[in-house]
């Protein structure tokens, strides 16, 4: 059954402290095609690799604090040119060198373009993780992009993570409001507890920076809900504007769709597989097998014909050697034997097909049958050499060459025009 594996990643700063991907554990959720959760929890790298192989697609949920969302006014231009121009358009809004950043834009609407900006080296690490896990199809989205959004209210997700490897606990804050893609911030608790009033106050101050004033839907753990409610009441927030819910996987992925901005959409790296080879493996195997069988059959037929040709050649040479044991065998023993037969006929007083008398008689018969109708067609000279008869007409244009050629071909002769003369030879391929 087709399924999608969602993998939540810690912030970039935390990953740099934890070390290699293989030494870490990850929050995951395996979702069926009908949106039902099949599995969820935390797994090691090797255990996740088995889940990735059984899943159709891998989706990486990147910490909202690692991605900066910007909105920029753009002139009318093609989308390809826009992607090239973005580093110059956003250079003044960014503190980092644009060469170290990756810009992932949405299609502009009414001259405004929303752009996700992320460190290029971090995207390369994320891609290497997907390749190491063996993912066939992979995409990456921020956690804030997957949060649900209600009319006239913002959504805030606060999650705590215990990093036992480095002895630290962090809070990840992801916010999403109407008109923006999202934002996020990571807070290190150090020695403080999650239900500390100072922690709740710091969360409130962070949210006021990231979000405009208005109603907020909180998704927080129960131990944090009580202290956040207390701080909100102390600061004079109207209680109906603040709602609390318990976070779960459906909360974090309910806002994702095919239209959600993919951080890998403009990133090209070896190892990212755009073609699902596993889906077509049987078609490729069958096609390759058919080609191999066809090549084997052709080679077998060629070998059979080659063997038959060699057998016939050996037989002809054996017959020639038995008839003429003292004569060396040439490459064409059949022609050599025909020469011997013609020589034997001459010694016996018989004429061969390429003798002067035979050729001239055959030509005279054909000439007398066609040319008398054209008085201007006369023969100037006749010469015999190299077993061929060369006829030089006084006016070649008056000679019906095509008709004469057809008539001589019926007699086993070949007539061709060469140097304004007619050359008559025996047609070895014609009838005799």
Selection from 100, 81, 212, 233 nearest residue 156 by Cα: 212
**Tally of residues, the chain:** 432
Helix (H, G, I), strand (E, B) or coil at 404: helix
Q: Which of 305, 67, 33 is nearest to 186 (CA)?
A: 67
CB-based contacts of 184, cutoff 8 Å, min separation 6: 63, 64, 65, 66, 67, 142, 143, 144, 172, 173, 174, 175, 210
CA distance 14 to 165: 11
- CA–CA gap between residue 422 and residue 383 (Å, rounded): 10
Model confidence at 273: pLDDT above 70: no
Residues 232-250 have pLDDT tens digits of: 777 654 445 788 888 888 8
- Under the phi-then-psi rule, with left for phi > 0, alpha for psi from -120 to 50, and beta for the rest, what region is 271? left
Strand arrangement, sheet containing 112-119: 68-73, 112-119, 101-105
**Is the confidence at residue 171, as pLDDT, over 80?**
yes
Q: Which CATH number applies to 356-426: 3.20.20.70, 3.40.640.10, 3.30.1240.20, 3.40.1400.10?
A: 3.30.1240.20
Task: For 19-77, write each residue's pLDDT tens digit.
Answer: 788 888 889 999 988 888 888 998 888 888 888 888 888 999 999 888 988 888 888 88
* CATH 3.30.420.380 for the 3-276 domain, yes or no: yes
Where along the chain do its domains lie?
3-276, 282-346, 356-426
Per residue in 377-419, pLDDT (tens digit) is 788 888 888 778 888 888 887 888 888 888 888 888 888 888 8
Closest CA to 381 of 402, 401, 396, 398: 396
Strands 57-62 and 138-142: parallel
**Token pair belonging to 91:** 């250079």
Residue 279 pLDDT exceeds 80? no
Residue 271 has pLDDT above 60, yes or no: no
Is the pLDDT confidence value at 149 over 50? yes
Burial state string for 412-429 with b = 16 or more CB within 10 A and e = fewer than 16: ebbbeeeeebbebbbbee
């Amino acid at each position: 059954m087709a399924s999608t594996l969602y993998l939540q990643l810690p912030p970039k700063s935390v990953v740099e402290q934890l070390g290699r991907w293989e030494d870490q554990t990850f929050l995951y959720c395996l979702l069926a095609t009908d949106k039902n959760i099949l599995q969820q929890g935390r797994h090691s790298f090797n255990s996740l690799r088995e889940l990735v192989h059984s899943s159709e697609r891998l989706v990486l949920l990147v910490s909202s604090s690692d991605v900066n969302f910007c909105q920029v006014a753009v002139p009318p231009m093609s989308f390809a040119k826009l992607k090239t121009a973005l580093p110059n358009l956003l250079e003044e809004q960014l503190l980092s060198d644009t060469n170290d950043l990756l810009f992932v834009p949405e299609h502009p609407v009414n001259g405004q373009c929303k752009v996700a900006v992320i460190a290029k080296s971090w995207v390369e690490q994320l891609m290497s993780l997907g390749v190491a896990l063996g993912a066939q199809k992979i995409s990456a989205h921020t956690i804030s992009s997957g949060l649900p959004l209600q009319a006239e209210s913002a959504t805030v997700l606060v999650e705590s993570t215990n990093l036992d490897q480095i002895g630290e606990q962090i809070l990840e804050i992801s916010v999403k409001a109407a008109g923006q893609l999202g934002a996020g911030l990571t807070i290190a608790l150090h020695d403080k507890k999650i239900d500390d009033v100072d922690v709740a106050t710091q969360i409130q101050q962070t949210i006021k920076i990231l979000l405009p004033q208005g109603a907020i839907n909180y998704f927080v753990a129960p131990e944090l809900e009580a202290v956040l409610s207390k701080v909100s009441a102390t600061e004079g927030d109207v209680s109906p504007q603040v709602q609390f819910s318990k976070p779960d996987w459906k909360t974090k992925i309910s806002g994702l769709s095919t239209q959600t901005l993919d951080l890998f959409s403009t990133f090209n790296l070896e190892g990212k597989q755009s073609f699902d080879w596993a889906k077509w493996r049987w078609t490729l195997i069958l096609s390759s097998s058919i080609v191999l069988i066809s090549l084997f059959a052709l080679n077998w037929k060629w070998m059979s014909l080659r063997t038959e040709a060699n057998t016939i050649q050996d037989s002809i040479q054996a017959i020639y050697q038995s008839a003429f044991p003292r004569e060396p065998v040439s490459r064409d023993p059949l022609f050599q034997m025909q020469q011997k037969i013609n020589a034997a006929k001459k010694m016996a007083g018989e004429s061969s097909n390429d003798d002067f008398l035979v050729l001239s008689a055959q030509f005279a018969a054909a000439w007398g049958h066609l040319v008398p109708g054209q008085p201007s067609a006369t023969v100037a000279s006749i010469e015999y050499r190299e077993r061929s008869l060369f006829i030089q007409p006084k006016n070649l244009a008056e000679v019906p060459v095509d008709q004469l050629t057809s008539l001589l071909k019926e007699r086993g002769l070949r007539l061709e025009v060469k140097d304004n003369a007619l050359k008559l030879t025996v047609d070895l391929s014609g009838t005799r």
